[in-house]
Amino acid sequence: MRVYIFKLIAISILFFVFCSSAPDYVPKIRYTPGPGPISSEMDKNDKGTGPITSIKPGPFDTSLAKEGDSILNVKCYSCHALQYSKIGPPLGMVLKEHSPEYVMNMIINPLGMEEKDPHVKFLITRYGSLMPYLSLDSAQARAVVEALRK
């Protein structure tokens, strides 16, 4: 009987120790390009699918970047971070991998990009989520691109 009680107490202690010690944080996964469209099939000149066909960024615009930062804080950072993956891919290197037009078209026209762009289709399978329609116009998307240029 003592052995039975001892085993029951030991199992209870182990259960509470291992089952109640959940981490207080969500692990952050650093972005590393892997095989597939992320590293081998991307074309920096690809403009994506949408209304933006050509922009000329010019010199860095601080006031436009501030507007873009506020949009990023409200609309983007719940799913994205700059240097690590969350629900969606990190945004810190997006302008090194894609043209500004591509990024703006993804912001303005996510549904069209999800239907036609092979890289976006790959990201959907990698992250298991779609980018929602953000109701941003081209001026706001341009501000986000400017903020990401920092």
Single-letter residue type at 89:
P
Q: What is d(CA 96, CA 65) in angstroms, rounded to the nearest whole number? A: 17
Query: What are the b/e assignments for 46-71, b being 16+ CB within 10 Å?
Result: bbbbbebeeeeeeeebeebbebbbeb
Strand ranges for the chain from DSSP E: 29-30, 84-85
Q: Tell me the average pLDDT of the chain.
A: 83
> Domain with 40 in it: what CATH number?
1.10.760.10
Domain for residue 19, yes or no? no
Domain for residue 6, yes or no? no
Domain for residue 4, yes or no? no
- Confidence class for position 80, pLDDT limits 50, 70, 90: very high
C-alpha to C-alpha distances, 47 to 9, 11, 61, 118, 142, nearest whole angstrom = 64, 60, 22, 13, 14
Domain for residue 99, yes or no? yes
Question: In the chain, how many domains are there?
Answer: 1
- Confidence class for position 134, pLDDT limits 50, 70, 90: very high
Give the predicted TM-score (pTM) of the model. Answer: 0.73
Domain for residue 103, yes or no? yes
Range of the domain at 86: 26-148
Domain for residue 46, yes or no? yes
Domain for residue 55, yes or no? yes
Domain for residue 12, yes or no? no
pLDDT beyond 70 at 63: yes
Other C-beta atoms closer than 10 Å to the C-beta of 134 total 16
Backbone CA torsion sign across 106, 111, 34, 44: negative
